[in-house]
Amino acid sequence: MTDYGQDLLFGTFITPSARPVQKAVELAVAADEYGLDLATFQDHPYQPSFHDTWTLMSYVASRTTRIKVAGNVLNLPLREPALLARAAASLDLLSGGRVELGLGSGAFWDGIAAMGGRRLTAGQAVDALAEGIEVIRSVWDTSSPGGVHVRGTYYTVDGAKRGPAPAHDIGIWVGAYKPRMLRLTGRLADGWLPSLSYLPGGPSDLTEMNAHLDGAAEAAGRSPSDIRRFLNLNGSFSAESRGFLDGPPDQWAEELAGLTLEYGITGFILAADSPAAIELFAKEIAPATRELVAAERS
């Protein structure tokens, strides 16, 4: 049992399809109206049927009032960290603190190379991500003196001015599965963002992954509760139970509460491209889950 005690967040994972042009925007607006906490978007700049995720996030933030936006996760190999830091700070200022930064080390290297990006091995990409995070945090950090001086193997940002400071402390969330990335997440990140469908053993895989995160956090002098654990969810709603996350709302609430209490998951992000699913998640499942968790914790 690992519950890190954070409050619960509920969000959507919206496909950034470029057609119909406004579909992703409309879904995010619906999520905002129904009261979800997060609208998140995958980022595959080599995928021609998708919107550019940063442009979409900026536009969505402009069309919504309350919900936060985040990449889930942004493709760092095709986005220069110093510029990304400034962009995130700008959007955070414009939106009144509604941006979080989901980051990934890159996966589809053929696609990245086709776009003119550099091809890295998995190990190199983890190191590059660590450097990228350092660059981003240094740009945001206007309280330290002097300019940004990160001289890395993959990114060198040497002498750039710091700032602007974002409107709030933007969280850096990392999509991680393998031990090295998990350790990086535990060491450097504010959040961890895996997808349930990528866990071969289902939720029980989370135990070992949490151990990697917690160990790395502690080794770096942080507390395991500094890292919020998200989970991207796939599932369906049906009148009768047909399996894990496939059933009526009260079953969902029980299973999600179980994920919180057993594995410390406190951010639930539903892959949903229909307003009806978003509404159900926001209006029925989120409050019921919160209630169950509150009851257990008290």
Partner 1 sequence: MNYGHPLEFGTFVTPGNAPPHDPVALAKRSEELGFDLVTFQDHPYLPAFHEMWTLLSWVAGQTSRIRLAPNVINVPMRTPSVLARAAASLDLLSGGRLDLGLGAGAYREAAAAMGATVLPPRESVDALSEAIDIIRALHDVSSGRPARAGGTHHRIVGAQPGPAPAHHVPIWLGALKPRMLRLTGEKADGWLPSFRNVGRDGLVAGNKVIDEAAVAVGREPSDIRRLLNISGTFSATSSGFLQGPPSQWVDELLPLILEDGVGTLILATDSPAIMETFASEVIPALRAAAPAPTTFKPSGVRAKRRPGIGYDELPASLASAAVEPGDVEYPLVRSNYMRGGSPGLVLRPSTDAEVADAVAFAARHRHLPFGVRSGGHGVSGRSTNDGGIVLDLGRFKDFEVLDTAKRLVRVGAGMRWMEVAAALEPHGWALTSGDYGGVGVGGLATAGGIGFLGRKHGLTLDHIRAATVVLADGTIVRASPEEHPDLFWALRGAGANVGVVTSFDFQVPEVGDVGWAQFVLDASDTAQMLVKYGAAVEAAPRDVTPFLLMGAPQPGQPHFAQVMAMVDSGDPEKIIADLTPIASVSALYDQNVVIAPYAAVIANASSEPHRGQGEPISRSGFVRHLTPEVAAAIARLLGSGATPFFQIRAVGGAISDVADEDTAYAHRSANFQITALGRNRQRLDAVWDREMYGVTEGLYLSFETDPRPDRLTDAFPPATLSRLRTIKAAYDPTNLFRDNFNIAPSESAA
* Residue 234 lies near partner 1 (rule: CB under 8 A): no
Q: In angstroms, give the least distance from the CB of 38 to partner 1.
A: 18
User: Within 13 Å, how many C-alpha atoms sit on residue 220's CB side?
Assistant: 18
Instruction: Tell me the three state secondary structure of residue 107.
Output: coil
Cβ proximity to partner 1, 162 vs 283, nearer residue: 162
Q: What distances in angstroms separate CA 39 from CA 28, 47, 110, 298, one per listed residue? A: 6, 20, 28, 30
Residue from 39, 157, 181, 269 in contact with partner 1 (CB under 8 A): 157
Name residue 100's beta-bridge partners: 70
The full DSSP string for 165-181 is PPSS-PPEEE---SHHH
Q: Which stretch binds partner 1 (CB under 8 A): 61-69, 217-225, 226-234, 240-248?
A: 61-69
Q: In angstroms, give the least distance from the CB of 240 to partner 1.
A: 13
Cβ proximity to partner 1, 160 vs 211, nearer residue: 160
Q: Which residues contact 22 (CB under 8 A, 6 or more apart)?
A: none
Place of tokens 């031990």: 179
Residue from 9, 14, 38, 61 in contact with partner 1 (CB under 8 A): 61
Inter-helix orientation angle 179-188/205-219, to 10°: 50
* Residue 45 lies near partner 1 (rule: CB under 8 A): yes
Backbone angles phi, psi at 105, to 5 degrees: -85, 0
Residue from 2, 12, 58, 195 in contact with partner 1 (CB under 8 A): 58
Q: In angstroms, give the least distance from the CB of 285 to partner 1.
A: 20
Q: Which residues contact 170 (CB under 8 A, 6 or more apart)?
A: 88, 89, 92, 99, 100, 101, 140
Instruction: Tell me the three state secondary structure of residue 121.
Output: coil
Using CA atoms, how far apart are residues 133 and 74, in angstroms rounded to an integer?
12
* Residue 236 lies near partner 1 (rule: CB under 8 A): no
Residues between 62 and 121 that touch partner 1 (CB under 8 A): 62-63, 78-83, 86-87, 89-91, 93-95, 111, 113-117
Residue from 33, 127, 164, 288 in contact with partner 1 (CB under 8 A): 164
Looking at residue 51, the DSSP 8-state letter turns out to be P
* Residue 41 lies near partner 1 (rule: CB under 8 A): no
Using CA atoms, how far apart are residues 268 and 260, in angstroms rounded to an integer?
9
Q: In angstroms, give the least distance from the CB of 54 to partner 1.
A: 7
Instruction: Tell me the three state secondary structure of residue 268.
Output: strand
* Site map (CB under 8 A) of partner 1, residues 132-151, x = contact: ---x------x----xx---
Cβ proximity to partner 1, 29 vs 253, nearer residue: 29
* Residue 54 lies near partner 1 (rule: CB under 8 A): yes
Residue from 39, 56, 130, 285 in contact with partner 1 (CB under 8 A): 56
Residues of the shown chain interacting with partner 1 in the complex, contacts defined by CB under 8 A: 18-22, 25, 45-46, 48-52, 54-56, 58-63, 78-83, 86-87, 89-91, 93-95, 111, 113-117, 135, 142, 147-148, 155-164, 167
